Amino acid sequence: MSDDADVLIVGGGIGGLTLALSLHQAGISSCVFEAAPEVQPLGVGINILPHGMRELCELGLQDALAACAIETRELAFYSRHGQFIYKEPRGRYAGYDWPQLSIHRADLHKVLLDATVQRLGRDAVRLDHRCLKVEQDGTGVTLHFDKAEPRRGKVAVGCDGIHSALRWQLYPDQGPPKYSGVNMWRGAVRWPAFLGGDTMVSTGWMTVGKTVIYPVRPGTPEPLINWVAEIERPEAVRQDWTGRGRLADMMPAFAGLKFDWLDITGMIESTEEILEYPMVDRDPLPRWTFGRITLLGDAAHPMYPRGSNGAGQSIIDARYLTGEIKKLGATEQALQQYEAVRGPATANVVLANRNNPPDAILREVWQRSGGQRFERIEDVISPAELLAISDRYKQVAGFDRESLRIRPSFV
């Protein structure tokens, strides 16, 4: 059996497609194997922070992404009572060389898929290829599928998400993802713009109901607004990214949230399709790489979506891995060098998202104010402490402005 490509990519999501595009840019052959029989517009909104956007810009995708996204101007925090807490500029408005984009996941995926097909050819992405297992020997790997012939390559990369088949093969006793104690409901709806039309807002706290709201797609007369509602619950809902949610399960926690600048309750009630799933992650793994097999993105390091950072870390994984393969070839050594850097870096983000992500600002205000109205935010928490919480996360996640600006390109 001859090799199909140097790098066999299991999973055609954001990480897998970014890896294919990056490898192509570096002159390395790859093929993507996706379990789904057809591409469907799944999910809702996500944010691409400047460290992720830097990589997508280096792939020549900035214009295509900007055409279907909102460039985020600022991030703002408010109490459950609609009282202002803190805001900061984001992306190029904060002096970065790259923007922060808010975008529908389906739009991001389409840009990546279209670019992959255009640059690598239609055969570079094989749909309806559900991977059952991977075997390896001294010269390469063989992927086995449920309904297709085996495929041969030099290395295999599992980019197949939190329920990764490759991860299960490497860690058969891992058990289910760890529930955080928080359930999430998400939706997207056409709604009037708020706070200038390019602000990302976070309000309340998980004890009584927290929201994250931002526009993800331009529109006339109204943009598409993405919203996330989170609340602590003793039991997790299904761990299914397409699970349908019900208003009755959310209320009354998110009733009566009508501020001068946004009717949050009305927006949620006007959403036709609501998704629900638990906030889960997994403990950092001791290793991702086993010979010629490695993991990437959520397959390697699923994290709580509390720093707008999951997609960005997958993108960075893909770019860094490409750089190592460019230097060392599609070899075990390249995979080991990739893990040696990205393993500790993403483990730090997983733990930070559990304990001190940016929304720790809301936690501190909620706890210190007892959930009550306050006269002045300065009487609850100092501006310096709010800034420190935000800056600390940027450093852990790898997108503090100066470090990002001076670091060399991965590829």
pLDDT digits (tens, 9 = 90+) for 191-211: 999 999 999 999 999 999 999
Kindly report, residue by residue over 260-296, the tens digit of the pLDDT: 999 999 999 999 999 998 999 999 999 999 999 999 9
pLDDT band at 167 (very low <50, low <70, confident <90, very high): very high
Q: Which two tokens stand for residue 189?
A: 């709806």
Kindly report, residue by residue over 14-39, the tens digit of the pLDDT: 999 999 999 999 999 999 999 999 98
Percent of the chain with pLDDT over 70: 98
Q: Set out the domains of the chain in order of their start, with CATH numbers.
A: 5-42+105-176+282-355 (3.50.50.60)
Q: What pLDDT shows up at residue 239?
A: 55
pTM reported for the whole predicted model: 0.96
Kindly report, residue by residue over 304-317, the tens digit of the pLDDT: 998 888 999 999 99
Q: What pLDDT shows up at residue 218?
A: 95
Residues linked to residue 134 through DSSP beta bridges, in sequence order: 143
pLDDT at position 241 over 60: no
Inter-residue contact 322 to 22 (CB < 8 Å)? yes
Residues linked to residue 48 through DSSP beta bridges, in sequence order: 101
10 Å CB burial of residue 80 (0-12, 13-18, 19+) is: buried
Q: What pLDDT shows up at residue 242?
A: 59
Mean pLDDT of 113-122: 97
pLDDT band at 244 (very low <50, low <70, confident <90, very high): confident
pLDDT band at 43 (very low <50, low <70, confident <90, very high): confident
Q: pLDDT: is 40 or 188 the higher one?
A: 188
Inter-residue contact 193 to 200 (CB < 8 Å)? no
pLDDT band at 1 (very low <50, low <70, confident <90, very high): very low
Please give the Cα distance from 159 to 186 (Å, whole number): 24
Q: What pLDDT shows up at residue 3?
A: 61
Pick the closest to residue 311 from 232, 399, 236 (CA basis): 399
Pick the closest to residue 394 from 349, 362, 342 (CA basis): 349
pLDDT at position 326 over 50: yes
